[in-house]
Structure 1
Amino acid sequence: MAYSRAWSPYYRGQLIKGRLSIQPGPGLHGLTATYSETLPTGPLQLGGPVMPAKRALYLHLKDVGGDGQFFLCLFPQTQPVSALGGYMCGSAVIGPEAQPSLTRILLVRLRDAASDTGTWGGYLPAGASIAADLASLGIALERPEAVDRQLGEFLDAYGDDRAIQIPPGEFRAILDVFDRHWLHAG
């Protein structure tokens, strides 16, 4: 299971649940990842190579049916690889404007990947319990309230319950400064 902050302005402050699977595949390191989410607009699936490095695990995932791309930079895996965590970077898929976005992501390994069929994606209701969601998938954790608090703090690194996004208007104001300079300097 994958949990991160929603990038869509329509789901501000909510978590989104997805699924990441890593399988043997072609390429330099012989691993391929597939990341999926169920969105109100339909399923989203991205895939690409997994690039293990000494200090991080990198995934560059591309939308198989469109032009979306996500980049994940994760802590290197440790045995038994029960969880991975790090950052996910990309652009909001559902929204009126493109917004470069960054969020922390937590990936929890399921013992039986087939057990979550049909329950693996989508926006979680505001205030939803990750521990309860994991329990529904067969991962019953001790002290679920404490686990929810710990996971919430990890995913909410910036204290405002949101992903990091650049407001398009803020960037357009910067472009206005440099575009005017560039156009009139010639």
Structure 2
Amino acid sequence: MIPDNNKSKLILILVIILAIAIVFFGYAISVNNSNNSNGVIANVDNAITINQSYPDGPTAEAKIDSSNVNSKLLGSNDLGTVELLGPFGNPNSDIKIAYSIGMHPLESKVHKALFDTVNSKSNSLNYCYYIYKINVTNYDTDDEGRMDGQLLAQEFVAPHIISNDYDLFVDV
């Protein structure tokens, strides 16, 4: 286990790295959208191919295919389902990081990007990563989908996160 004073420093560093990655990722997508119409980031070493054929703005159309990864159903109700995906990366690492995706269905493009990146880079990751995949079944309006996702997270994700003692948890 990591001493508390070092754990705080590590969490701060990981949050900064995540923020930089999000900025870089957003920049790469914006450059791609202005220079390339087929949805592929070009001329970037070790890049992930991303389908950009989604509508501009918020959408729930970017679906995640988790059929080829380890998954465990944590719970379901009339609002939707919650799955735990992983582990990704180094399952023997002392550092455990968890992400939550799908809580707000109209943010599906960034959820898909995170899942595809972690999944495709799994063999080269030093830490152990898990992804909580929330699937809201009814998202007719932005308000309904957001609230349903938050209620699913409250019922199924929060207790599981607390009991698994992650070093860092991020809702994407």
Structure of greater Rg: 1
Structure number with the higher strand fraction is 1
Fold similarity call, TM over 0.5: no
TM range (shorter): under 0.3
Instruction: Give me the TM-score of the superposition, normalised by structure 1.
Output: 0.25
Instruction: Give me the TM-score of the superposition, normalised by structure 2.
Output: 0.26
